[in-house]
Amino acid sequence: MIASPVLILGARSDIGKALARGYAAQGCEVILAGRGDIAADATDLGLRSGAKARAVAFDVTDGAPDRFFDSLGVVPGTVVMVAGLLGDQAESAADDSAAQRVMDSNFNGPARYLLAAARRMAGVPDGCIIGISSVAGERGRASNFVYGSAKAGFTAFLSGLRNAHAKTGLHVMTVKPGFVRTQMTAGMKLPPVMTAEPGQVADAIIAAHRARRDVIYTLGRWRLVMAVIRAIPEPLFKRLSL
């Protein structure tokens, strides 16, 4: 059962837009939270789907999660945290402010917003919190360890939140999409067999939400790939160009 309204935090992203369409197709009321012209997205979604949709301004780094939730005027039945920032590893390593943006966008901000959500949602029938983490958080790699470490922290946070609310009825799900063809990955050479489309990710999340899964890889083959990567001995791992 999907509890409505569904609040999508980071709704202007490609995955956020696909999720909005998917939940609207399920007959859910959808609250789109994001930056820019998010109101136009909500109007378009309502016209195309016939679902009730509205927009609210949201910035995951603004540091005011309680004020944000108080302003909604409703307790969400479902909250999906999609917000994140890939950033550039070389820039993050060289510039503290760049590293802070990546960490705040992928761990500090998302964790604080979901803590604020959980404070309000405990006891909501079929309530669910969904966090979009990353396979990059499963092992620190030289090519993206600032982003990866922030996602590793977020994965651990979601696990802890899930266990903390195991007896309250609030379900918490962790999503690890792997490569997704989005604006964030534009220009990157992505292996087709390991790359999902935003719609595929949204479909997998909604199906897993209905099944109340704990952790999903939106392409199942990533589970095996990451098991292999985690098993590589550290002396050998340091010699690899990953």
Q: Where are the domains of the chain?
A: 6-237
* pLDDT the model gives residue 195: 82
Tens digit of each residue's pLDDT, the chain (242 residues): 899 999 999 999 999 999 999 999 999 999 999 998 899 999 999 999 999 999 999 999 998 999 999 999 999 999 999 999 999 999 999 999 999 999 999 999 999 999 999 999 988 999 999 999 999 999 999 999 999 999 999 999 999 999 999 999 999 999 999 888 877 776 777 778 888 899 999 999 999 999 999 999 998 898 998 899 999 999 999 898 87
Let me know if 147 is a catalytic residue: yes
Q: Report the SS3 class of residue 191.
A: coil
**What is the CATH number assigned to the segment(s) 6-237?**
3.40.50.720
CB 51 within 8 A of CB 28: yes
List the beta strands (DSSP E) in the chain. Answer: 6-9, 30-34, 53-57, 78-81, 128-132, 171-176, 179-180, 195-196, 215-217
Q: Which of the following is catalytic: 23, 113, 147, 217?
A: 147
CB 230 within 8 A of CB 138: yes
